[in-house]
């Protein structure tokens, strides 16, 4: 059989000396002065301009070369060659001549 024993202590704070406030003299006097408050007049604000909704992007046509293909500056044989597409290479079509 086990037995437990314990003691309950009542703890109280030790008394301390109480300090009495010493009176102080204040001799300053504040006077309220009327201060004008600046007012802001409302100005006409322009209404916000609506943001244009971008058009949905359309899929771009793409060309895949099956032969060596000259890429020119413009839509005709009279324009200078600026590149070459080899078989299997592709490019986006940005314009078509009539």
Of 92, 95, 98, the closest CA to residue 64 belongs to 92
Domains in the chain, number: 1
Please state the separation of Cα 86 from the chain's center in Å.
Answer: 46
In a domain, 42, yes or no: no
Encoding tokens for residue 34? 């009327």
- Beta-sheet strands, E only, within 8-48: none
* pLDDT over 90 at 13, yes or no: no
pLDDT tens-digit readout, 47-92:
778 888 777 677 788 889 999 999 888 888 999 999 999 999 998 8
CA atoms within 13 A on the CB side of 22: 1
Measured CA to CA, the distance from residue 44 to residue 26 in angstroms comes to 52
Please report, to the nearest 10 degrees, the dihedral formed by the alpha carbons of residues 27, 30, 31, 36 taken in order: 160
- Tell me, yes or no, whether 39 lies in a domain: no
Q: Is the dihedral of CA 79, 84, 86, 88 positive or negative?
A: negative
Query: Is 67 among the domain residues?
Result: yes
Q: What is the pLDDT of residue 87?
A: 95
pTM, to two decimals: 0.37
Q: What is the mean pLDDT of the chain?
A: 75
- Higher-confidence residue of 11 and 15: namely 15
Domain contains 34: no
Residue 70 lies in a domain: yes
**Cα separation, 86 vs 66, whole angstroms:** 7
Which range marks the domain in which residue 69 is found?
Answer: 62-92
């Amino acid at each position: 059989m086990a037995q437990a024993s314990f003691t309950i202590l009542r703890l109280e704070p030790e008394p301390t000396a109480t300090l009495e406030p010493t009176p102080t003299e204040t001799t300053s006097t504040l006077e309220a002065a009327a201060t004008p408050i600046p007012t802001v007049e409302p100005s006409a604000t322009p209404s916000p301009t609506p943001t244009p909704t971008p058009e949905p992007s359309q899929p771009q046509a793409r060309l895949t070369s099956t032969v060596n293909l000259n890429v020119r500056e413009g839509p005709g044989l009279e324009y200078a060659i600026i590149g070459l597409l080899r078989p299997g290479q592709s490019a986006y079509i940005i314009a078509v001549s009539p």
